[in-house]
Amino acid sequence: MPGTAAGLSAGVRTSEAELIDRARRRDEAALREIMQANNRRLYRLARGILRSDSEAEDVVQETYIRAFTHLDDFLGASALSTWLSRIAINEALGRARGRKPQVELGSLPEATLEAQIIQFPLSSAATDPEKSMAQREIQRVVEHAVDELPDAYRMVFIARVMEGMSMEETAELLGIKPETVKTRLHRARTQLRENVEKKIGPVVMDAFPFAGQRCERLTEAVLKRLGVG
C-alpha cells in the first residue's frame, strides 16, 4: 500500500479527477484507493496534533466521512491529498483546542463542521504486524521525541521529514510561509538531534506506521458508515 498521498501516475493508476468522480458515485474501489493512498499521512498529521493513537484514528475516520459526504465542495484548487489533510488538521485542532486552548499552528482555517467522536478499536503492539520486533523499541523512542516537540515544530517535522512533503506543500498545508517552514524545521531538528536523531537514521521514516491491518480496518469502517460494500 502506498505510504504517502503522492500524485497518481497517468497510464498506471486512475487519474485523480476520474477517481473523485467515481467516489462521488460511491464506487467502492475508488473510495478504497483514496483511503489507502492517504491513510498514513492523515494519521500522522492528526497524531502530531493530538499525540494519541486512538484519537488520531478517530480523526482520520471522521475526515473521510466529512470528505466523502461533501465531495461536491472539492473544487480541485489543490490536490485531493491536501484537501483531505486540511480537513484532518482542522478536525484534530478542534479536538485539541477543547482540551488545550493554547494550541496554535498558524493561520489554519477553522473547521466548519461540528466534530463527532467515533470509537475505533486500536490493535495492541503484540498483534501489530507493521512493527517488527527489532524496530519497536527504537520507534517508541522516536515517537516520544517527536511528541515532545513544540506544536508548531512537530507539525513541520512530520510533514517535511516523516511524510517527505516539499517546502511549498508544507507551507500550503499549514498556512505559513516557506521561510517559516525552513526555520521551524531547523529548530525541530536541533531539538531532536542531541537525543535521538543521530541514532535512528532511516528508522524515523517508519515511525507511526499506518498500514496492514490498521489501514484495512479503518477503510472498512468508513465504507460501512457510507453504506458501501
Instruction: Report the C-alpha gap between 34 and 20 in whole angstroms.
Output: 9
Residue the block writes with cell 506543500: 169
Instruction: Report the C-alpha gap between 1 and 180 in whole angstroms.
Output: 32
Backbone angles phi, psi at 26, to 5 degrees: 60, 35
Residues 86 and 137 in one domain: no
Q: Of 186 and 194, which is predicted with more confidence? A: 186
Q: What is the tally of structural domains in the chain?
A: 2
pLDDT of residue 203: 57
pLDDT of residue 136: 73
pLDDT of residue 104: 43
| pLDDT of 40 over the 90 cut | yes
Instruction: Report the C-alpha gap between 98 and 101 in whole angstroms.
Output: 6
Q: Residue 223 contacts by C-beta under 8 Å, 6 or more apart in sequence? A: 28, 31, 32, 229
Residues 90 and 55 in one domain: yes
Residues 57 and 5 in one domain: yes
Please state, rounded to an integer, the average pLDDT across all residues of the chain: 78
| pLDDT of 32 over the 50 cut | yes
Residues 201 and 214 in one domain: no
Residues 72 and 100 in one domain: yes
Mean pLDDT of 59-72: 95
pLDDT in tens, 172-192: 999 999 999 999 999 999 988
207: pLDDT confidence band, cut at 50, 70 and 90?
low
Q: What is the CATH number of the domain that holds 7?
A: 1.10.1740.10
In single-letter form, the type of residue at position 185 comes to L
Q: Residue 4 contacts by C-beta under 8 Å, 6 or more apart in sequence? A: 37, 40, 41, 163, 164
Residues 191 and 104 in one domain: no
| Domain span holding position 26 | 1-125+209-229
Residues 182 and 222 in one domain: no
pLDDT in tens, 94-114: 998 876 544 444 433 333 222
Residue the block writes with cell 499506518: 210
Residues 2 and 48 in one domain: yes
Residues 117 and 165 in one domain: no
Q: What is the CATH number of the domain that holds 201?
A: 1.10.10.10
What does the block give as the cell for 41?
499521512
| pLDDT of 152 over the 70 cut | yes
Residues 228 and 173 in one domain: no
Residues 2 and 115 in one domain: yes
Residues 101 and 204 in one domain: no
